[in-house]
Amino acid sequence: MRLEVDMSLVDQARSAAESIADSIQPIIDAYTTTSIERTVLRLLWVDGVDENNVPLPNIIVDQAQDAGLLEDGIAYWIGSAMLHTGLTLRETIGALSHGDIIFDRIPGAYDDAVRALVEDEAERTCKYIKERRLERERLILEKDSRVPPYLYVIVATGNIYEDVIQAKAAAKCGADVIAVIRSTGQSLLDYVPYGPTTEGVGGTYATQANFRIMREALDEVGRELGRYIRLVNYCSGLCMPEIAAMGALERLDMMLNDAMYGILFRNINMQRTFVDQHFSRMINAYAGIVINTGEDNYLTTADAYEEAHTVLASQFINEALARRSGLTPRQIGLGHAFEMDPDMTDGFLYELAQAEMARIIFPEAPLKYMPPTKHMTGNIFKGHLMDAMFNLAGAISGQTIQLLGILTEHVHTPHLHDRYLAIEGARYVMNNTRHLRDEITYKKGGIMEKRANEVLRKAASMLEQVAKIGLMSAIEQGMFASIKRERTGGRGLDGVIKKSERYYNPFQALFMKELTSPDFSPLLWGNPANRQGGGAEEWR
Amino acid sequence: MEVDLSRIRPYGDTLDDGYMQLSFTLPVQCDAKAKKAAELLSEKMGLQDVKVVYAHNIADSFSFFIVYGRCIHSVDMTAINIPEVDVEFMSYDEINGFIEKHIGRKVVVVAACTGTDAHTVGIDAIISMKGYRGESGLERYPWFVTYNLGSQVANEDLVAKAIEVNADAILVSQVVTQRNIHIDNLTHLAELVEAEGIRDKVLLVMGGPRISHELAIELGYDAGFGPGTLPSHVGSFIAQALARRIRDSKEQQRGCIHE
């Protein structure tokens, strides 16, 4: 018997989250952003930098913005330029970037003519992204037979080539998912760096070349191991949709992609973020990418016991917004974390109660469980134990993605053997308790059931309050993570543009057409039954 | 047990046995030769009776070792001198009372996590209402006026703000210390403060998990606070150091008049 939670409260919370998502939809529909328009260019295969290392998508979108034309969508004006000059897409981009054509001098063409021209190019991209999705599905069918939780580790050397060495070593130790941490501060860059990079602080720049290099490396080690190794990066910050496009083109498998993280923790303008997240998630959905939301961040400053309901409330909101972008429930990897004070009596019970609660409330979501970080002290021995408890909670509660704790958390970004020890520890705990979940029943009315329902009750009432005043006002009042952000404050508002009636973005319609079709159901996870000879050798 | 502080060495099982453990990885495949290399390396580090208790192959081309050995070195602790923050810790009420009595006006503090560092955990712990470990941050103190500029603040902006609000103290937090980026950043801030001619007007205080008072002094700051620091620790220091500065400058002024 599973933990019993009050399903009527779940329905209540979910419908409040729906109306919260509805309340910001008008803004999402009415505006575009510089980042979205740059994404449209990237999806039209505009890539590269000028002699000052400024990316071409930035150059062209900035020109259009200066000319006051971005409200029509960059695609409309690129199409008009093509019609006016008779040049191909590639030639048009070249001419624009060299100043041979100037946006001011291009006459606007008939909408239908533009669409006929650009739509073809856009369809080509969609086809390419879909092929990459089907490529993943083939690989998963062939090789992915893991029993969850999938073991997720991080590499963060700053040098993509060093990252490759570490990622391959981790895969050989048993890691299933490799996340390349981004260089500190990239989220606030209003452009995406270009080319392979070997310098970064606290992580490695997310560039399309780096994505490609790591993808190839993981495919290679996957072939050697007969497994599919997933690749993760960060679809967040000021370039959220651009990074989604890069990930879609390079077959990343997961993206950290939260609807509110940038607003709260990076002080990015909320209108910018809400508009950007919508399109970025649409791309992720179409590419068959699993998003990971960032609720663990709520607990890095706030107390994990006191503020547990804010995690749940945010999960409901992330779910509602993600669904509106066309993501299937199985693509929505809601985040939560094991962050209770280890000195707390019965702390493990509360952790487990919350982990089980999340499992029940979001039955299809590939939940992403985050390890202890806040209470890691540098005592690596105790830290290793805390990570073991975390792994146990993950195994018992049936999490899908387990971001492995590292014993040297709080000391440095993981060394090669830190990762090995983490994977070895996780494999030990999870193999040793493989079927424990099936054997456990929880006491009716016990500590855990009470705890789960208390958290749920608080989350539902918080959501109803947010629904009443609107999400933006709630953020302005500091209802999330006790951080107050103003509607017109933060970075990136100058890149938010009201759409004109003629606004054209070929990809939204093309993506949504497929995403809303009942047949859309990307294959994301393997089936242990596919393994020849059963699953026993997995943990050998 | 008689401990000789002039010759201190690790304690494993008996006094002065020198036992310690270490673990490391060598970028070679794990075989007998690699194990011997680990042993020799440990000996070079000053261990004797080295035992490689665990050797394990990581991913074909790396090997991980856990090693025990007895350290042949010792350290003279009587000769160690570590600078410590000169402060008497006070409580919330004591700090407010102290400022009222000895300074007589509100103390203005600007705080930020500077450079590319996006981690506000430390600065929030010291400044925000919520504070840290059940202690309120300086924001709650009636005798402090605080400006928390948040994360990824340029040193220039921090200094400009300090000048704008006539700050008594600048608090800077650094969490990311990879490749010693914090040293460059902290040095740059100290230089800026100096260049703007406000060094004698503000207390420069740094904090973070890898920050020590020793480092702070070395870089020309007034104090450095490491992990576990509470808001009241920082508050006590600022109040006392500021009171001292005011007293010193008054005495200096008196001195001038007498001359």
Asked if A99 and A227 sit in the same domain, the reply is: no
Residue of B133, B152, B153, B173 to mutate for A, most A C-beta atoms under 10 A: B152
Asked if A65 and A156 sit in the same domain, the reply is: no
Asked if A155 and A114 sit in the same domain, the reply is: no
pLDDT for A428: 97
Task: Please give the structure tokens belonging to residue A445.
Answer: 């009315």
What CA–CA distance (Å, rounded) separates B121 from B135? 15
Strand ranges for A269-379 from DSSP E: 290-292, 332-333, 335-337, 368-370
Residue of B140, B149, B151, B178 to mutate for A, most A C-beta atoms under 10 A: B178
Asked if A163 and A104 sit in the same domain, the reply is: no
Residue of B25, B26, B58 to mutate for A, most A C-beta atoms under 10 A: B58
Tell me the backbone φ, ψ of residue A189, rounded to 5 degrees. -75, 135
What CA–CA distance (Å, rounded) separates A293 from A259? 8
Number of domains in chain A: 2
Q: Is residue A53 in some structural domain?
A: yes
Q: Is residue A468 in some structural domain?
A: no
What CA–CA distance (Å, rounded) separates A94 from A273? 30
pLDDT for A168: 97
Q: Chain B within 8 Å of A245 (Cβ-Cβ)?
A: no
User: How many CB pairs below 8 A link A and B?
Assistant: 66
B145: Cα separation from own chain's centroid? 24
Q: Which residues contact B61 (CB under 8 A, 6 or more apart)?
A: A169, B27, B28, B29
pLDDT for A413: 87
Q: Indicate the burial class of A7 (C-beta count within 10 angstroms; 0-12, 13-18, 19 or more).
A: exposed
Decide: B12 and B19 in contact? Cβ < 8 Å: yes
Q: Is residue A296 in some structural domain?
A: yes
> Could you confirm whether A296 is annotated as catalytic?
yes
Nearest C-alpha neighbor of B35 from the set B63, B59, B60: B63
Position A14, amino acid: R
The CATH number that applies at residue A349 is: 3.20.20.440
Q: Which residues contact B196 (CB under 8 A, 6 or more apart)?
A: B159, B163
pLDDT digit string (tens) for A395-408? Answer: 999 999 999 999 99
Q: B51: helix, coil or strand? A: strand
Q: Chain B within 8 Å of A417 (Cβ-Cβ)?
A: yes
Contact yes or no for B150 and A266 at CB 8 A? no
Q: Where are the domains of chain B?
A: 19-77, 92-258
Distance from CA of B64 to the nearest CA of A (A): 7
Asked if A237 and A118 sit in the same domain, the reply is: no
Asked if A105 and A247 sit in the same domain, the reply is: no
B92-258 CATH: 3.40.50.280
Q: Is residue A519 in some structural domain?
A: no
Contact yes or no for B116 and A185 at CB 8 A? yes
Position A86, amino acid: G
Q: A370: helix, coil or strand? A: strand
CATH of the domain spanning B19-77, picked from 3.30.420.40, 2.60.120.650, 1.10.1040.10, 3.30.30.60: 3.30.30.60
Distances (CA, A) of A254 to A232, A234, A291, B171: 5, 9, 5, 38
In this structure, how many other beta carbons lie within 10 angstroms of the beta carbon of residue A112? 8
Residues in A touching B150 (Cβ below 8 Å): 267
What CA–CA distance (Å, rounded) separates A326 from A284? 9
> Could you confirm whether A261 is annotated as catalytic?
yes
Q: Is residue A347 in some structural domain?
A: yes
Nearest C-alpha neighbor of A354 from the set A293, A320, A318, A306: A306
User: How do beta strands B19-26 and B62-71 pair?
Assistant: antiparallel
Asked if A410 and A352 sit in the same domain, the reply is: yes
Q: Is residue A486 in some structural domain?
A: no
Tell me the backbone φ, ψ of residue A87, rounded to 5 degrees. -85, 165
Decide: A75 and A60 in contact? Cβ < 8 Å: no
Contact yes or no for B25 and A415 at CB 8 A? yes
Q: Which helix (H) or strand (E) holds B94?
A: helix B92-102
Distances (CA, A) of B59 to A62, A174, B38, B195: 47, 10, 18, 52
pLDDT digit string (tens) for chain A, length 540 residues: 589 999 999 999 999 999 999 999 999 999 999 999 999 999 999 999 999 999 999 999 999 999 999 999 999 999 999 999 999 999 999 999 999 999 999 999 999 999 999 999 999 999 999 999 999 999 999 999 888 999 999 999 999 999 999 999 999 999 999 999 999 889 999 999 999 999 998 899 999 999 999 999 999 999 999 999 999 999 999 999 999 999 999 999 999 999 999 999 888 999 999 999 999 999 999 999 999 999 998 887 778 999 999 999 999 999 999 999 999 999 999 999 999 999 999 999 999 999 999 999 999 999 999 999 989 988 999 999 999 999 999 999 999 999 999 999 988 889 999 999 999 999 999 999 999 999 999 999 999 999 999 999 999 999 999 999 999 999 999 888 878 889 999 999 999 999 999 999 999 999 999 999 999 999 999 876 654 443 433 433
Enumerate residues 250 to 309 of chain A having a beta carbon within 8 A of any beta carbon in chain B: 265-267, 300-302
Q: Chain B within 8 Å of A384 (Cβ-Cβ)?
A: no
pLDDT digit string (tens) for A445-497? Answer: 999 999 999 999 999 999 999 999 999 999 999 888 878 889 999 999 999 99
In this structure, how many other beta carbons lie within 10 angstroms of the beta carbon of residue A405? 24
pLDDT for B255: 65
Asked if A213 and A116 sit in the same domain, the reply is: no
Determine which one of A143, A168, A368, A374 is catalytic. Answer: A368
Decide: A258 and A318 in contact? Cβ < 8 Å: yes
pLDDT for B118: 67
Structural domain range at position A320: 147-449
Determine which one of A163, A253, A296, A387 is catalytic. Answer: A296
Nearest C-alpha neighbor of B236 from the set B67, B129, B98, B103: B98
Omega of the bond prior to A193 within 30 degrees of 0, cis?
no
Task: Please give the structure tokens belonging to residue A193.
Answer: 């760096």
Query: Beta partners for B156?
Result: none
Contact yes or no for B59 and A168 at CB 8 A? yes
Q: Is residue A185 in some structural domain?
A: yes
Distance from CA of A188 to the nearest CA of B (A): 9
pLDDT for A1: 56
pLDDT digit string (tens) for chain B, length 259 residues: 789 999 999 999 999 999 999 999 999 999 999 999 999 999 999 999 999 999 999 998 999 999 999 999 999 999 998 888 888 999 999 999 999 999 999 999 999 988 776 677 788 889 887 778 888 899 999 999 999 988 888 999 999 999 999 999 999 998 777 677 788 889 999 999 999 999 999 999 999 988 899 999 999 999 999 988 999 999 999 999 999 999 888 887 776 555 4
Name the pTM for this structure. 0.86
The CATH number that applies at residue A41 is: 1.10.8.1000
Tell me the backbone φ, ψ of residue A377, rounded to 5 degrees. -115, -10
Q: A155: helix, coil or strand? A: strand
